[in-house]
Amino acid sequence: MNRFKDASILITGGTSGIGLATAKRLSGEGARLLLTGHSADHIDAARNALPDATVIANDASDPDSVEALAEAAASFAPGGLDGLFLNAGYGAFESLGDIDAAHVDRHFDLNLRGPLLQARALADRIGDGGAMLLVGSATVGGARADTLVYSASKAALRQAVRSLASEFAPRGIRVNMVTPGLTETHFHTRGGMPDDAQKTYKEKVAGMIPLGRIGVPDDVAKVAAFLLSDEAGYVTGAELRVDGGLTMA
């Protein structure tokens, strides 16, 4: 398939996990890519993996960084972006007794305020008829005590997708959400879960997944690519879950 030939796409958090897998998939289908990341080693690795991509450091949790992002987008795609995948996110699993203001702020700054301010700053940089994609979480709708703040931040973003879809619809810009289940990335390490706890957790969740395994980044990347492509040209305000059936009941 060559669905993204010469399309200009921006992916935040494009240096690792789901964002990087989506970048590789879109690049393989002809896209020009502007990727953002946060850590120098992942930025270098992404540059090596995708030498044709433009990879920049840009902190999605910092409101002062959105103007630099808009400027980078303008010089990367003077004619406008065709797609925007606001994927950067973070989750640390803590129950009520272990949370504090910094924990709440870190989640909401990156998972909610970041994409909202980016969407605002980049609104004039997306061409009419383009696509915007955000990332939810299969923990939303569940009742786990330890995903309290992470799930709340993603639930808020899930709701925001609908307003954004209404906002951008008059310009033919579609806004959707891809919602991964447990996916093998740096996410849990970044959230502070020790390796042995991750192993136990992933084995336990795999046993609950109807399709019998946890996800890999490309499982999500395939669906992200579909939602960003013209094949989803009549889809907006939608959420597609990519979780092996974990949350279908």
Ligand X SMILES: NC(=O)c1ccc[n+]([C@@H]2O[C@H](COP(=O)([O-])OP(=O)(O)OC[C@H]3O[C@@H](n4cnc5c(N)ncnc54)[C@H](OP(=O)(O)O)[C@@H]3O)[C@@H](O)[C@H]2O)c1
Window 108 to 147, contacts with ligand X (CB under 6 A):
110, 135, 137
User: Minimum distance from CB of 13 to ligand X (Å)?
Assistant: 3
Sign of CA dihedral 149, 151, 152, 156: positive
CA atoms within 13 A on the CB side of 85: 32
DSSP state at residue 215? B
Contacting residues for 202 by C-beta, under 8 A, at least 6 apart: 182, 184, 214
CA atoms within 13 A on the CB side of 149: 24
183 is an interface residue for ligand X by CB under 6 A: yes
Per DSSP, helices labelled H in 52-194 are 66-76, 101-108, 114-122, 148-168, 187-190
Q: Which stretch binds ligand X (CB under 6 A): 53-61, 162-170, 193-201, 230-238?
A: 53-61
Q: Is residue 234 flagged as an active site residue?
A: no
Which burial class, exposed, middle or buried, applies to 143 when counting CB atoms under 10 A from its CB (0-12, 13-18, 19+)? exposed
Instruction: Give the total residue count for the chain.
Output: 249
Q: Pattern 6-45, binding to ligand X, x per CB under 6 A?
A: ------xx-xxxxx----------------xxxx--xx--
Judged by CB under 6 A, the residue of 4, 90, 93, 168 near ligand X is: 90
User: Minimum distance from CB of 176 to ligand X (Å)?
Assistant: 14
Question: With contacts defined by CB under 6 A, how many residues of the chain interact with ligand X?
Answer: 32
Window 208 to 247, contacts with ligand X (CB under 6 A):
none
Between 12 and 54, CB nearer to ligand X:
12
Between 81 and 177, CB nearer to ligand X:
177
Sign of CA dihedral 68, 43, 160, 178: positive
Between 12 and 127, CB nearer to ligand X:
12
Residue type at position 186: H
Residue appearing with tokens 């808009």: 70
Between 54 and 58, CB nearer to ligand X:
58
180 is an interface residue for ligand X by CB under 6 A: yes
59 is an interface residue for ligand X by CB under 6 A: yes
Catalytic residue ranges: 150
Footprint of ligand X on this chain (CB under 6 A)? 12-13, 15-19, 36-39, 42-43, 58-61, 87-91, 110, 135, 137, 180, 182-183, 185-187, 190
